Amino acid sequence: MNKEIIAEKFRQLQDRICKVLETSDGKANFIEDTWEREGGGGGRSRVIANGNIIEKGGVQFSAVHGELPEKIKTKLKLSNSNFFATGVSLIMHPENPHVPIVHMNVRYFELEDGSFWFGGGIDLTPIYIDADQAKDFHLKLKNVCDRHHPEYYSKFKNWADDYFYLPFREETRGIGGIFFDHLNGTDGLSKEQALNFTMDVGNLFAPLYSRIMKQYHKIPYTEKEKDWQLHRRGRYVEFNLVLDKGTKFGLDTNGRTESILVSMPPEVKWTYQYPIESGSKEELTLSLLKKGINWVK
């Protein structure tokens, strides 16, 4: 299973996801532009905006290679000079506050000595946390994980809780999901098995999020709920710019900045000491932005 085959599988995944999202939205279509990285490789950036459901979203494919920057070599404690990286990453920002923000990525990294690893994950960031929605989301992730290893869900769920966490706010980004990295055969998986799991995670996204979109986008919302959405989007921006490793890796490897930062929402606000009413839906949501919640019970 060489890197060209893996890149092609990710390229096809981007196609499938975009097709389902366009159909589910029913109005907007993706625009695409291809780009080349000066150091080697390139990608396809696809952006959707002003739809029936999706206010702004991006589904990115990239396959880049070249000399590894010293900053990355030092951070990862690597001595190899050349790398290859490919993957699909996406973020959707819906217009309706009752439809959650979603993020997904799957990726493959290879060094010139043949060492490799897969990584990825899916997480959900509701503006208002709905326990039924959270339970269904996590059950779908658990089902995929259980098909490959009985310990994957608990391990990768905890990893997501730890990763998608804003320590300076003392809150999780949302209800989490799963996050995994460095699947490279050392845990008993073959390269093909690691790829199969990674692709299963990627293929889960479109039907799972499409269902959520259709179920929640017609719920009426108030001006106050929209204001809360813009405020909570600010937390998303904080995480992506301050903590997200994918953002940092893309920028540190001289990736295409416009594609990397397409994850930013179209409209956002920061409100100093946002007023939270006792017993409100906003207060309930804040109380559930914690690690270790068992959503599938």
Q: What is the pLDDT of residues 51-110, one digit of tens each?
A: 999 999 999 999 999 887 777 777 766 666 788 999 999 999 999 999 999 999 999 999
Cα dihedral 280/283/287/288 (nearest 10): 70
* Vertex 17: Cα angle to 156 and 174 (nearest 5): 40
Per-residue model confidence (pLDDT) at position 76: 67
Per-residue model confidence (pLDDT) at position 189: 78
Going along the chain from its start, the domains and CATH numbers come out as 3-287 (3.40.1500.10)
Catalytic residue, chosen from 103, 138, 148, 149, is 103
Beta-carbon contacts of residue 277 (< 8 Å; ≥ 6 apart): 283
148 included as an active-site residue:
no
SS3 60: strand
Per-residue model confidence (pLDDT) at position 71: 73
pLDDT in tens, 49-68: 999 999 999 999 999 998 87
pLDDT in tens, 223-262: 999 999 999 999 999 999 999 888 887 888 777 888 888 8
Has residue 221 got a pLDDT over 80? yes
Per-residue model confidence (pLDDT) at position 90: 96
Q: Which of 119, 98, 99 is nearest to 109 (CA)?
A: 119
pLDDT in tens, 9-58: 999 999 999 999 999 999 999 999 999 988 899 999 999 999 999 999 99
SS3 147: coil
Per-residue model confidence (pLDDT) at position 274: 95
Per-residue model confidence (pLDDT) at position 245: 83
CB 124 within 8 A of CB 94: no
Whole-structure pTM value: 0.94
Has residue 120 got a pLDDT over 70? yes
